[in-house]
Structure 1
């Protein structure tokens, strides 16, 4: 917007409001391109905008705005639009005469308290969809509205963008001028001829991000609620409304086309677009941006010292340069798909022709592909054929694996499927930056035919050579041929692409050369000719080359899947692989999974995140969805040494293939594992019991304690969670004091959580640990008054569900002393914290300088395998051996013990405890730096890679920020990073990744969290 020099001062504007409207008010100048705008507040607190039009403005134009606002208030009363306030005389437009003999008009409009879209971050898909939907509703209502003043010529009318072409000389830089000229030719060719046939109506015509109002309340995520500034209204092509809004929505975006797609989808939902309107939409978007650039250049020439004009056009030029290489057809197809139309409209004709003209289709390779000689691979994300690794940079090994399977199956031909999401595309060239972090191209839109290098490839259809690319070593295709084919009766052309070819076989091929069906076209290349991939033909049908010459993607982003599948239909229409070769599809849709889950799974089994993730694969610190997007797992402390660690998996597979039985027989795995586990503990702890889960471990620990103490009462820490059995729910305040809980049973005694941040003794108070422990002594004293004593005191070594609360120094020492003096047993719950996660020590209880009587283990002990353990003293074990046999059918079986030993191997061999210490310290430092910049972060705490970030709305009152915590967890998921929330107030971010998590991962997490903490919803 151009800032104009005011004719009226703020004092004069206030006096004008009093004179014309009888309101005592103060006025504050607002920016405006043509009008003088003042924010007006009356003594009664009412707010308005005073608009003083320039002398050049006509009465009829202002009446158009007023009449429109009045009409819309009756048609769309829920929309946030200004209302015109009458003068004392009942006029809606007042006239002012000036000493110069000119006059200007004045209006007073209601002020709408809200945020502008320009001030709102982020522009989520939902927000952009609501922008389009609001404008669609507005335009649908305006179809029945007319006003003579709308029939005007306006410099911002997108349909008349060609009129500004004469001003292109104002753009001084040749490169920028050339860009405008190219986009103008696109507008001239793809829009101007069709505009006269399109719908016309009165539109707002300026839905830029400074005129769009967003709901500023915190009750829900931001959405568009209305518009201001109707000064550019005119009668023109209706589609221009959407073009203008989409143009501004694309500014400052990493993926501008995706942003426009959401606006288009919302608009179409409210006002269905015609196919002709979709055809011209992208050229109109570009035309609007060109208008902005040319007008700004002209204004800059008139006001060379106005640096604001130069700054304000930078986003426009940045977007124009982003759009320069973009295919207009791809944009068109993207918008069609957003409207639930077939993205490429003529693909159906190509598919129909190929289906009904199979007699014209020849062989692609020889021998002919049959059920007997063809093996279809499964290279999908969750394929067992890929093994349990995701580092596919070793393409040589990948190729050996595939050809070995072909040999074993006696197959001459191997097939890689079309429309398959694959994890094998790991090179940087497959990375796709988006506004929510990095995604990967994973969806294969061709057909792979694996055969020996040198295998001949034949032209299955007559055509001409469209292009020949001899890109040896290229990481996508290598040498590539594209043939062009025609369907004369439909006046259509389509293309076939042949990639990963032998360089020598391309000799003699030239663009435009006719090719007969059955011609020997090329040969399959060797590994060194196609980026190291195993020998194969990549074959693809293309309905529209999109002006890309011979370069065309064979692997695409999952978010663009439907668009590209429409452009590149199933290659088997030509290849002719028998249907019997293809296995039955295993996957079902997310919607179907949810429906079955809701029907057959208990409804109180929660699902993480607002948009659930369909996870099908894991490796190290990453999880993979069915579409191949990988997520940095910063919350899954069960996969302790990394998801599907090969050494752990192989240990389980090897033992499972030999024997898996119970502990009534002798087996060395049981005793070897018991020895190794006890060696990691203080010498007093030397007797093991193996179980199947952390819950079983804690349940057994209570039995041991009660047998030894001959007491029943249990002392627990507030907010603690110890497991999901009935007994453990009874001793878990996090559950029995939460929703659905019934409170503590009489034998359970709750002591305060030793929380240095929001507990009874905060900060660095001297002897805080001892002061918290005194509450245990008080509980014991009350027990003793009733002639009872504690059976046990059970405490997590770091408070997990409490919000990752680190115990104050000296707490467990004093607590254990009180308990033991009363004859009780001290249980350290290491289900979440053990096995090196604390970094400085192997067990978190060691950081407190104590030795428990019983240690319970679960979660990380088996890296996801159902394994748990209880380790105690010889004395307690002897007491428990009271004649009642303890037996666990699956506890301590050979497979579980093999896996448990493998986990210990990995921790030791890969020095993961040290990694947890080093990376944890690095991550904590980064989080504390964020705390210094973002008031929402109240506390950062943790040991090693067991970290909590507590969020508060006020650092003095500690008012919890639970909504913000949930929002951040979901937004981090959008950015490809998985964290969660925890704590009794649900306001702590939980960060407990596999301990292979490294400093690069920490940097990624901190950068994403920093960005999200700057978004509107989390501001305090």
Structure 2
């Protein structure tokens, strides 16, 4: 490049970089240091100003790097003088290349802009540009470029331009701004935060908040929930440089103004300079974001920004509550004084709500509410404001947020439930009918009335009455005046109120946001403060109601602190961000916010979390009898017979216990009695329980942190690793002395490793020749999970002497079993009684029978075979896209995905990243294997093919992110 000769550094390599105005190069000198060279027209004033700006910022205590101007030259170009500016090179990755963009990164994006705004408050310069083509306050220039747009684009642009021309931006504080904080100008360090800011060519004097508006405009592109990202950016900015009220009110429009400049200039550039793709790089994403912002009410955006700035969501929040305290004299909305009332908790963890109560189960839900009232001899039940409810967490109500699937779960109104329809509803305050009509949506408000109230000249708010009868009282129509205490309507029956049990949904709104009957009654949990700050507690207008209660769920940090104080430190929690789980249903778990997580690892909930038939069986028998097995009872016998019928005929004697650990402890005692020795052969990385005896045969415990090492009487077979071709033949590792053998039929903690064909036949034959017996630990793999067989050992063509079964047998209830041959049982009965107080008690036995019934009735073994085969196919297709996936293995719904780097080196860090990132996106996963680099997939057996599609979609997404790769 001809201009290098003018520089003082010894350049050995050049690389072109993208730029709008300047020709830009990355230079490398002999020592390997990098620089940035910008070449453009001569503008001495601009050069002087930028040099002063960079010099000033270099003296500030900024938490990120800015470039240094090292050299500046004016030289003759081919047809005109050109200016050369040489800058230092900043380390880091362009934010544009960083995935994922987490809340922490968005906050850092905002805080870096706040740091610049704070630093530049005291900076001024006579040559500072009065404006910039990219200054949001120059939105009017977009009108000159409207003819470059398509008709639909022009209509959208004109809408925003019309809004912008009506705003008064002169009230905003002003300063010199950096003015260009987009993803191609910010660098990110290894800690995931902004480490550098480059390209100060657009700095100018403008409204200070434009700095934040530009950052928000670029942070929110390509996201399903743009306000969610903007909220984090604003929070980061405000924490460093506090925003003023008028800036928060103007922010939405200034964001749109910057996007308008982007799309109109891109359209112009495409027409005039079609050869420069950089000039239109943000066009498509900016149009997409503008389209989304068109559907978001500016006041709603303002509410998000106010909450991010730690202000009440609505400007009238304080005025409303002051009026309620000082002047409000509302009439009763319902005749509470003449009715017996009871609270009704419908929150995520509510035992009142019962099991699986979702919108898809409204008839049962209705019966449950009515029974709640009858049991308490109450006419009305009240509650629900701010309550986090799981009712709308089915697939039909799922949407996608920035962090995966999400559901509206935070209730914004107060519900008054009635035994029957027809309860009268009264007007609490003078007002005007804003809307009356019907919401036809299944599960919606049904017949609805909305009133507008203006008790003072400066305060207007609205009240909503949902789930009413089909007709309102005489004179109730839009625009009509209503008086305090006037009869409005009646509580509707199920056929007119959206399908719900009879109740009134009473809600207060400080802003209708140009909506009517479609105004939300529930909100996303991450927007809780926004919507509850727009919809005050209705009990402020119902003094007769039950006293207000704290509705905010306890913070995870608070629970974790309590847990660490009262529970043993050896008890761990899952994930970097622990989950506060309150409900389970099928293949899902629900946290305290009502968020639904797809559970891919809880094999203990074998037929599904809280399966209704299993729960019903437990409830019914618990109310009758629960005692030990010294008394005769048919349930324990029925369960033993049913269980034995699933096993080979030789396995016919059952001992019931409470857990897999107890089962394996008993099996090892049996083996010691029969073989006459404690010597035990086990598999490397095996895990068989938490008792002293089972830990002694579990390398997963005794050889890892805190373990005491391998006991002398434990002998180990190496892991049969078919991926690497090692340990496949057990014969050379078999001991030449008498020993018994305990094994998992597919090695779980070893990394979901299937055994090679014929492996168990060889080991069984050797052990039995020496006088030992063989124990198949089927705690994790039994009862149909592997699909092709009821028990995983059957795939090896062997029959153990003892089989152990764990808590999946009770679907999480403490029920387990040891099933052995009559010979083993006879030998073990040496005179010492084996007694387990609650092993096989009537409640446990009834639950076990219910689990076996569900497996048969819902054909879950066949389902595991089909779904597992389908999921395996999807995983192997994913493997073709991602070389980090070295192996996909397993059977049915007991699968493993091994992550490896070069030469099959275990990829432990990416595996840890993946499970924590998937948890953030709504999927519960875990790892196993000697290096914790194997994703284990062993969900409840109701896991569906559709669940598999969803899981693969997000696994693919995360595998494409930075943290999942090997660097």
Extract unaligned runs of 5+ from structure 2: none
Question: Cα gap change, 1:124/1:589 in structure 2, threshold over 3 Å: closer, same or farther?
Answer: closer
TM superposition shift of 1:37: 0.6
Q: Distance in 1 between matches of 2:930 and 2:581?
A: 28
Could you tell me which residue of structure 2 aligns to residue 753 of structure 1?
Answer: 719
Match of 2:106 among 99, 103, 128: 128
Partners of 1:167 and 1:298 within 8 A in 2: no
Write out aligned runs for 1:411-810 (5 A): 411-426=378-393, 430-451=397-418, 452-472=420-440, 475-488=443-456, 491-505=458-472, 508-579=475-546, 588-758=554-724, 760-761=726-727, 768=728, 771-776=729-734, 780-781=735-736, 784=737, 789-790=738-739, 792-810=740-758
Q: Is 2:147 the partner of 1:170?
A: yes
1:911, CA displacement in angstroms? 0.7
Q: Deviations over 1:683-718 (max 9, x none)?
A: 111211111111111111111111111112111211
Determine which of 356, 361, 367 is the counterpart of 2:330.
361
Structure 1 residues 796 and 147, CA gap change in structure 2 (3 angstroms): same
* Cα shift at 1:78: 5.0
State the alpha-carbon separation in 2 of the partners of residues 506 and 1012 from structure 1.
56
- Structural mapping, 1:874-913, within 5 Å: 874-913=822-861
After alignment, is 311-320 or 449-458 more displaced?
449-458
Q: Which moved more, 1:302-311 or 1:983-992?
A: 302-311
Please tell me whether residue 146 in structure 1 is matched to residue 124 in structure 2.
yes
* Structure 2 counterpart of 1:1015, from 950, 961, 965: 961
Q: Could you tell me whether the CA contact under 8 Å between 2:439 and 2:517 is conserved in 1?
A: no
1:152–1:235 Cα contact (<8 Å) kept: yes
Match of 1:94 among 60, 73, 84: 73
Q: CA deviation at 1:573?
A: 1.4
Partners of 2:331 and 2:217 in 1: how far apart? 47
The match for 1:210 is 184
SS at 1:579 equivalent:
coil
Residues of 1 paired with 2:464 and 2:588: CA distance? 34
- Write the deviation string for residues 916-949 of structure 1: whole angstroms up to 9, x where unpaired: 1110110011000000000111111111100111
Q: Per the alignment, in what secondary structure is the counterpart of residue 245 of structure 1?
A: helix
Aligned-residue offset at 1:63: 3.0
State the SS of the aligned residue for 2:318. helix
Mapping 1:262-341, distance limit 5 Å: 262-303=232-273, 312-341=282-311
Confirm or deny that 1:187 pairs with 2:154. Answer: no
1:441–1:209 CA distance, 2 compared to 1 (3 A): same
What is the alpha-carbon distance in structure 1 between the residues aligned to residue 687 and residue 519 of structure 2?
A: 54
CA distance in 2, matches of 1:535, 1:1013: 48
**Aligned counterpart, 1:974:** 920
Deviation, structure 1 residue 502: 2.8
Change (3 A) 1:663 1:410: closer
Q: 1:958 aligns with which of 904, 928, 937?
A: 904
Residues 585, 436 of structure 1: alpha-carbon distance in 2 compared, 3 angstrom cutoff: closer
Q: CA deviation at 1:891?
A: 1.2
SS of 1:135 mapped into structure 2: helix
Q: CA RMSD in A?
A: 2.1
Q: 1:63 to 1:583 in 2, by over 3 A?
A: closer
TM-score (normalised: structure 1): 0.91
Is residue 59 from structure 1 mapped to residue 28 from structure 2 by the alignment?
A: no
Q: Tell me: CA distance 1:30–1:281, structure 2 relative to 1, closer, same or farther (3 Å).
A: same
Partner of 2:34: 47
CA distance in 1, matches of 2:152, 2:873: 46
**1:336-386: CA deviation from partner (whole Å, max 9, x where unpaired):** 11122211131122122123334x211212x3346x512322211222233
Distance in 2 between the 1:920 and 1:860 partners?
18
Aligned in 2, Cα 1:587/1:270: closer, same or farther, shift over 3 Å?
A: closer
3-state SS of paired residue (2:342)? strand
- 1:194 is displaced (CA, Å) by 2.3
1:819 maps to what in 2? 767
For residues 259-304 of structure 1, the C-alpha deviation after alignment (integer angstroms, 9 at most, x for no partner) is 1111111111222222222221111111111111222233234346
- Following superposition, the deviation at residue 60 of structure 1 comes to 2.7
1:418–1:445 CA contact under 8 A, matched in 2: yes
Q: Do the aligned residues in 1 keep the contact of 2:142 with 2:265 (CA within 8 Å)?
A: no
Query: Residue 269 of structure 2 contacts residue 280 of structure 2 at CA under 8 Å; is this kept in 1?
Result: no
Cα distance in 2 between the residues matched to 1:584 and 1:561: 14
CA contact (8 A) 1:839 1:945 kept: yes
Report the CA distance between 1:311 and its aligned residue: 6.3
Which secondary structure does the structure 2 equivalent of 1:332 belong to? helix
8 Å Cα contact 2:18-2:278 kept in structure 1: no
SS in 2 for 1:385: coil
Choose from 59, 64, 71 the match for 1:74: 59
**Structure 1 CA distance, aligned partners of 2:553 and 2:12?**
66
Measured in 1, the distance between the counterparts of 2:668 and 2:629 equals 22
Q: What displacement does 1:18 show?
A: 4.0
In structure 1, the partner of 2:886 is: 938
Secondary structure of the structure 2 residue equivalent to 1:527: coil
TM-score normalised by L of structure 2? 0.96
The alpha carbon displacement at 1:127 in A equals: 1.2
**Contact map agreement 2:383 2:414 (CA 8 A) in 1:** yes
Deviations 1:309-328 (CA, angstroms, capped at 9, x unpaired): 56641111111111102111
Q: Do the aligned partners of residues 833 and 1000 (structure 1) sit closer, same or farther apart at CA in structure 2, a change above 3 Å counting?
A: same
- Distance in 1 separating the partners of 2:517 and 2:317: 19
Q: Structure 1 regions of 5+ residues with no counterpart?
A: 1-10, 86-91, 762-767
Superposed CA deviations along residues 713-737 of structure 1, whole A, max 9, x for unmatched, are 1112111111111222222111111
Alpha-carbon distance in structure 2 between the residues aligned to 1:701 and 1:376: 51
Q: Report the Cα distance in structure 2 between the residues aligned to 1:638 and 1:676, rounded to whole angstroms.
A: 20
The alpha-carbon deviation at position 533 of structure 1 amounts to: 1.6
Structure 1 residues 82-109: Cα deviation after superposition (integer angstroms, max 9, x where no partner): 2233xxxxxx311112354x31110122
Aligned to 1:160: 138
CA contact (8 A) 1:18 1:25 kept: no
Listed one character per residue, the Cα deviations across residues 373-429 of structure 1 (whole Å, up to 9, x for unaligned) are: 123222112222332223432423322332343244333323242111112225667
What is residue 83 of structure 1 aligned with on the other side? 68
Aligned equivalents of 1:824, 1:288: Cα separation in 2: 78
Aligned match for 1:384, one of 351, 354, 362: 351
Q: Which moved more, 1:142-151 or 1:1007-1016?
A: 142-151
How many pairs are equivalent?
A: 965
2: CA distance, partners of 1:77 / 1:461: 54
Residues 369 and 576 in structure 1, CA contact (< 8 A), matched pair in contact too: no
